Amino acid sequence: MDSGHKPVLLKEVIEYLDPQSNQNFIDCTFGGGGHSMEILRRVGDGGRVLGIDADGESLEKFKAKNSKVKIKDRLILINNNFRNLKSVYANNFSYPVDGILFDLGLSSMELMDETRGFGFLTDGPLDMRFSTKDQDLTASEVLNKYNLENLVRIFRDYGEVSYGQAKIVAEAVSQNRKKRPIETVADFLRIILTTLYPRAWERGEITLETRNFYRHRKRINHPATLFFQALRIEVNDELESLRAALGTTEEILGPKGKIVVISFHSLEDRIVKNFFRDEYRAGRLKILTKKPVVAGETERQENPRSRSAKLRAAEKMIK
């Protein structure tokens, strides 16, 4: 089976979900299908997986690559946002659920798709919608139509950059869009770099193609990373979607059912941590991970996407 990408923390996901023969699971972020395919292998012919993904293109690519694989009715794929988990489950999966997985990271296919604008390694339109069919707001519209105050809020709250950086980049966006619309990845990347590194840009020490950045001789994340993250969260209302989905997991899970969540930045991780804590205090969940589980050195070297991944797991308590 061709999953299309390397699933992050696969060994750990399987360890905490512990899929057994004839059990059923929900993968709320199907993506390239890596986690789901391994779960299906372990549950055998009597088990099933409901795979949900807001990105319909991702699901179609998976189906095309795996058209000859004999899965029968064991894998049910639904194009929807996981914030609608309760209704998707009710309408498409009439089986008891033994575990629910959320992998909140973008797949490598999405990041490298030049038509989507999720990443800045390739140029293309600033779209960033998970679903181009069901969503209207694009990243370009956010940059061109939001007022200065809202841009600062987005960069600060969703990108977790300092107020100072959020403000000067927001001001630069406001000035640049007066001259011409900000429509492409390169347009926004240029604004970020010329605003945060004006002298280095003028001297030609950094360009749109520069990938490695350093501060005090230590390598740092690309300065555009958090600004692109902020735009993506705003466009897709990601944090509220996560809260909504987590809030319905307890009524969907069967007795001793597991929840596993892989997050990739502190905003997501904080929501998961607080949800697990509150559910534990209410006597509904048992927390299985005292601290978030992270990738080992070998996986971090082989799969750079795993470097920021944090896994938390919990089990539904029997009342």
Q: Is the dihedral of CA 259, 264, 268, 270 positive or negative?
A: positive
CATH of 10-109+238-316, one of 3.40.50.300, 3.30.70.420, 3.40.50.970, 3.40.50.150: 3.40.50.150
125: DSSP letter: B
Architecture of the domain delimited by 119-236: Orthogonal Bundle (1.10)
Beta carbons within 8 Å of 114's beta carbon, 6+ residues apart: 122, 123, 124
Q: Do 10-109+238-316 and 119-236 agree at the fold level?
A: no
Along the 319 residues of the chain, how does pLDDT read in single tens digits?
444 468 999 999 999 999 999 999 999 999 889 999 999 999 999 999 999 999 888 898 888 888 777 777 899 999 999 999 999 999 999 999 999 999 998 765 666 666 666 777 778 999 999 887 888 999 999 999 999 999 999 999 999 999 999 999 999 999 999 999 999 999 999 999 999 999 999 999 999 999 888 887 788 888 999 999 999 999 999 999 999 999 999 999 999 999 999 999 999 999 999 999 999 999 999 999 999 999 999 998 898 888 889 999 999 998 6
Rounded Cα gap, residues 6 and 243, in angstroms = 26
How far is residue 232's CA from residue 213's CA, in Å, rounded to a whole number?
A: 22
d(CA 61, CA 71): 16
Domain ranges, ordered by start, for the chain: 10-109+238-316, 119-236
Q: CA–CA separation, 86 vs 251, rounded Å?
A: 9
Instruction: Put residue 61 in one of left, alpha, beta given phi > 0 → left and psi -120 to 50 → alpha.
Output: alpha
Triad 222, 224, 226: Cα angle to 5°? 95
What backbone phi and psi angles, to 5 degrees, belong to 92? -135, -5
